Structure 1
């Protein structure tokens, strides 16, 4: 997962700062200070079953101090974010995990914090998809997956029925949505789709006689919106029965 996130940061014009030596090997630091952008991300990668959440806060404090000492850039403390990549056994959330994520992300002190949970099955599914798809930037592919109606439909059904098997489509869409939520600098490029003419669909559904009647009614109403239904039917030669 870390390599995928690293590629996303690279495409977003972040640079990996290797000058800062953190005491914990699980941490990396990414900076973006050009083209009117001023962002800093501390990224950590842990497995849920191995992480010590109590000591994590201490490690974060140490990393934070190292960043401020090494960078010495005004305003960095207000533009620093922490991204925790947390490998889990399942995409389903336990109460304990929910509680920890909420406490960490809602903590108002120091800097913004984001927890991106993922399973190895999800990473495998995404890496497999990337090998199969046409060549494009990773961000573009993620955008396309986010707007894939088939993936969304499968994901929605899973949300409504937890007993549905976590197939590849569900694993993919769950991961993609979390990536966009937890990385605020990512933007969604909405696809432009031409709208089908509602009138054309109605005409195709109705028979020739029915379509002619509807068109006559619409024409009369367009000419005189004050006409009631009886007046419209009289105008087109139809009989009105209560």
Structure 2
């Protein structure tokens, strides 16, 4: 998952900084990404952990040490105000226990130091996502993720109640759950919605009508244009048709 997230950051224009020498017992679990766009900076500290691998108190200590290391080695004004944390948390289940919910809440709602985002995922979810991505046509990873986010079939499976899904729908729901969380937890990702070209509705309707039906519709429209206040029965009377009972 860590390399997968790294690919997302790189494709989004970030650089992975190798110069930060993190301190602490979990220094190998962290990586640091920077991006500069029109003299504006974005900085992300990414941590990769399994659930219950590190306690909340221990994690907060690790984050404080990471922040000190970044501020010490990166001489950039305002870095602390533009720094975000993405915590990748591998879990055994997609279901949220009270303990996990409280753990995530305490991290994300902590007002100190920097913005924090927790992205939960299971090993099975990530493997299913990797598989479907490998089966898609070659192209940018972000485009593929955007396609999956807008895929109606995946969304339909995701919205179904778990007890009503079959095996395939469960996998589709897991994939959509993870993809949607990527877009929620990584604010720099943009959803690209392609506009569908709609056909000329009037032409489609006219093609379905007989000549008599088409003449009646045109007469009704003419009467409506002349007097929009006319009720449907008044219009039918004017064009010589019986009213609706």
Number of the residue aligned with 1:134: 137
Partner of 1:19: 19
Change (3 A) 1:204 1:124: farther
Cα deviation, residue 226, structure 1: 2.4
Residue in structure 2 matching 1:78, options 76, 81, 96: 81
Q: Deviations over 1:77-123 (max 9, x none)?
A: 10000000000111121122112212211111111000000111111
Aligned twin of 1:57? 60
CA distance in 1, matches of 2:187, 2:16: 18
Task: Tell me the CA shift for residue 173 of structure 1.
Answer: 0.6
In structure 2, the residue matched to 1:175 is: 178
Q: How does 1:45-194 map to 2 (within 5 A)?
A: 45-157=48-160, 161-163=161-163, 164=165, 167-194=170-197
TM-superposed deviation, 1:204? 6.3
- Distance in 2 (CA, whole Å) between partners of 1:235 and 1:220 is 8
**1:33 aligned residue (29, 33, 36):** 36
Deviation, structure 1 residue 21: 1.2
Give 1:203 shift: 5.0
Structure 1 residue 56: deviation in Å?
A: 0.2
Alpha carbons of structure 1 residues 32 and 209: separation in structure 2 relative to 1, 3 Å: same
SS of the equivalent of 2:229 reads coil
Secondary structure of the 2:90 match is strand
- Per mean C-alpha deviation after superposition, the further-off stretch among 193-202 and 179-188 is 193-202
* Aligned equivalents of 2:204, 2:94: Cα separation in 1: 41
Deviates more, 1:165-174 or 1:146-155: 165-174
Structure 1 residue 215: Cα displacement:
3.7
After superposition, the CA RMSD in angstroms is 2.0
Distance 1:240 1:119, change over 3 A: same
Moved more, 181-190 or 46-55: 46-55
* Structure 1 residue 167, shift from structure 2 partner: 2.4
Check conservation: 2:30, 2:46, Cα contact below 8 A.
yes
Tell me, yes or no, if the aligned pair for 2:162 and 2:170 is still in contact at 8 Å: no
2:4 maps to: 4
Structure 1: stretches of 5+ with no match in the other structure: none
Residue 235 of structure 2 corresponds to residue 224 of structure 1: no
**Structure 1 length normalisation: TM-score?**
0.90
Secondary structure of 1:221's aligned partner: helix
Counterpart of 1:237 (choices 232, 236, 240) is 240
Distance (Å, rounded) in 2 between the aligned partners of 1:92 and 1:196: 43
Partners in 1 of 2:95 and 2:212 — Cα distance? 55
